[in-house]
Amino acid sequence: DLGDNQIGNDLQALAMLKDSATLHTLSLNLTFNQIGNTGAQALATLKDSTRLHTLNIILSSNQAGDANAQALAKLKDSIRLHTLSLELSTNQVGDAGAQALGTLKDSIGLHALSLALSHNQIGAAGAQALATLKDSIALHSLSLNLNYNQVGDAGAQFLASLKDSTTLGSLSLGLSHNQIRFPGAQALATLKDSTALHTLHLYLYCNQLGDAGAQALSMLNDSSTLHTFSLDLSSNQIGAAGAQALATLKDSTRLHTLDLHLNSNQ
């Protein structure tokens, strides 16, 4: 744990961990430092490791911007990496950074990816780029934490296209505090059409979905593959009509695990 130090850009020494002959799992917590583009570029050289297959890099609260995300996206060139977690919350990553991270789809071996991008400056264009992760040939688990951004209905509509992935079995979307309304909820409900998705977590608290949004999301009960579903709709102006619609999830023929959060509604 190297959080809350004064490491700055001087990460070349840590990047030498890539030369280890035995290291296969690495976690670096660099929260509350001042890591700039040079530091991010150094971290990206971990892609050259011939052993490393699991990597977790935590860069929260580092004033990191698009250049940092663009540098880290080069991790896609690793020939060994199959599990990658990038924690970039509470930074200054915008659409350009999200577009760079979307190129992680080109990794030939990555099958589990977690991108924590809450409290940044990502809008619909960034969401559109991240939705192209559906084109990965290997990815089967994806977590996108985009809470507290500016994704909106348009961004939610783009992210709904993740349903078209033929490999993605587990999906977590954090879209709380993103000004999403009924059109966005209606789009996300089309995730029911995925032919591969078996586990879905949707975090949509503090939006403006209302009863209509809840009714739209209840259509996920028509999924032919989904067996585990978690839905957080807290603080969304949902009343009795919305609750009644969500109760129809009981009619799903596949669902065996359901977690509903409806705190602070009507």
The CA R_g of the chain, rounded to the nearest whole Å, is: 19
SS (H, E, C) 2-62: CCCCCCCCCCHHHHHHHHCCCCCEEEEECCCCCCCHHHHHHHHHHHHCCCCCEEEEECCCC
Which parts of the chain fold into alpha helices (H)?
Answer: 12-15, 37-44, 66-72, 95-102, 124-131, 152-159, 182-188, 210-217, 240-246
Query: What per-residue confidence (pLDDT) applies to 35?
Result: 85
Query: What per-residue confidence (pLDDT) applies to 38?
Result: 87
Cα(90)–Cα(118) distance, integer angstroms: 6
Residue 139 identity (one-letter amino acid)? L
Query: Which residues does the chain have with pLDDT short of 50?
Result: 1-4
Query: What per-residue confidence (pLDDT) applies to 240?
Result: 98
Cα(260)–Cα(249) distance, integer angstroms: 10
pLDDT tens by residue, 149-165: 999 999 999 999 999 99
Query: What per-residue confidence (pLDDT) applies to 1?
Result: 46
State the fold for domain 26-32+55-75+83-261. Answer: 3.80.10
Residues paired with residue 85 on neighbouring β-strands, in sequence order: 56, 114
Quick check: helix, strand or coil at residue 188?
helix
Question: In the chain, what are the domain boundaries?
Answer: 26-32+55-75+83-261
Residue 88 identity (one-letter amino acid)? L
Query: What per-residue confidence (pLDDT) applies to 231?
Result: 99
Cα(241)–Cα(71) distance, integer angstroms: 47
- Name the packing angle between helices 124-131 and 152-159 (round to 10°): 0
pLDDT tens by residue, 29-50: 999 888 888 889 999 999 999 9
> Within 10 A of 216 (CB to CB), how many other CB atoms are there?
22
Query: What per-residue confidence (pLDDT) applies to 10?
Result: 63
Cα(214)–Cα(212) distance, integer angstroms: 5
Query: What per-residue confidence (pLDDT) applies to 220?
Result: 98
pLDDT tens by residue, 90-114: 999 999 999 999 999 999 999 999 9
Q: At residue 62, what are phi and psi to the nearest 5 degrees? A: -125, 10
Q: What is the pTM of this model?
A: 0.96
pLDDT tens by residue, 214-226: 999 999 999 999 9
